[in-house]
Amino acid sequence: MIKDQKSPTIALVGFGEAAAAFAEGWRGEGVDAAINAFDIKTQSNDAKMARDKWQAYDRFKVTGCPDLPAALADASIVFSLVTADQAETAAADAAPYLAEGAFFFDCNSCSPGAKRQSAARMEVRGVRYVDTAVMSPVHPKLHRAPVLVSGPHAADGLAILEKLDMSAKLVEGDIGRASSIKMIRSIMMKGLEALVLECVLSGRKAGVDDEVLSSLDVTYPGFDWKGKAAYMMERALTHGRRRASEMREVAKTVEELGFPPKMADATVFWEQFAADLEIDASVLPVDDYGVLADAILERKPSS
């Protein structure tokens, strides 16, 4: 791991769940590199939102910066961890402030086409762009959540990630290959959440949810449909906004490949539906799909 007097400065662009988890993991493993962070929420007119973000910097032992140029000053390793819809903007805004030879790990869940456009902006400035795909939730693994890297600088980038004690794997191929794996996998993974929402809520409303899920356990023994339904519904309620944003990028990925993104679009609908209800799942028994379903149906707007 990086731990010497000449340790480089790491910059985190965006300081949400993933960036905080990376920082927590690195500090826990004794990575003593300087870590700067900038999140646009610190510039919000919402005083509480800005204050909470500054407190998060302190909690995770990073140096919070008032703006992006300050965060990138002297940084030779940059992780972009913003929302999917802000990924290209973040790359474009960062490019002018990055030193030649700096590494830019674009960890955002966006389409291969978007990654290629961001890479082009970086390459003309001599910045080494690495297509990076985070392949699992960051909790509980923190910085060791599995990631894939691809592109012309991926091999050198992999060496850096390994020094940071990260669980990274090289994917042979150009920029967009790692993201393609992430995006196309999400058709299935996030699509299951959408199917669960539509199936369970319809079953609950009709009074047949127990019979439906029990019959699915017969068809797919060992899956534990009631347990998985509760987990997926909680994930959608907690992270639906971010997942909807990611699935819009998945839809773009499918379109780039010449197919109509019907399943991706449907998943966008259900993830956004869950997010817009603004239900705090943390105060509910998240292992009980019935309670979660009832909370959704109670909050659901009238058709």
pLDDT of residue 242 exceeding 50: yes
Encoded tokens for 119:
């890479």
Interval 2-27: pLDDT, tens: 544 467 899 999 999 999 999 999 99
Helix residue ranges, H only, 42-145 = 47-59, 68-72, 87-94, 112-123
Contact 15, 57 (CB under 8 A): yes
Going by C-alpha positions, the residue among 134, 147, 157 that lies closest to residue 84 is 134
pLDDT of residue 171 exceeding 50: yes
Q: Quote the mean pLDDT of the chain.
A: 96
Interval 174-217: pLDDT, tens: 999 999 999 999 999 999 999 999 999 999 999 999 999 999 99
Looking at residue 252, its pLDDT comes to: 97
Domain 184-299 belongs to what architecture? Orthogonal Bundle (1.10)
Bridge partners of 63, per DSSP, are 36
Buried b or exposed e, range 74-111, using 16+ CB within 10 angstroms: ebbbbbbbbbbbbbbebbebbbebbeeebbbbbbbbbb
Going by C-alpha positions, the residue among 202, 193, 195 that lies closest to residue 300 is 202
Looking at residue 5, its pLDDT comes to: 46
Give dist(CA 230, CA 233) in Å, integer.
5
Interval 51-96: pLDDT, tens: 999 999 999 999 999 999 999 999 999 999 999 999 999 999 999 9
Q: How many CB atoms lie within 10 A of CB 4?
A: 9
**Mean pLDDT, to the nearest integer, of 25-38?**
94
Interval 141-153: pLDDT, tens: 999 999 999 999 9
Domain ranges of the chain: 9-175, 184-299
Interval 256-287: pLDDT, tens: 999 999 999 999 999 999 999 999 999 999 99
Instruction: Kindly state which CATH superfamily the domain 9-175 is placed in.
Output: NAD(P)-binding Rossmann-like Domain (3.40.50.720)
Looking at residue 302, its pLDDT comes to: 76
SS3 258: coil
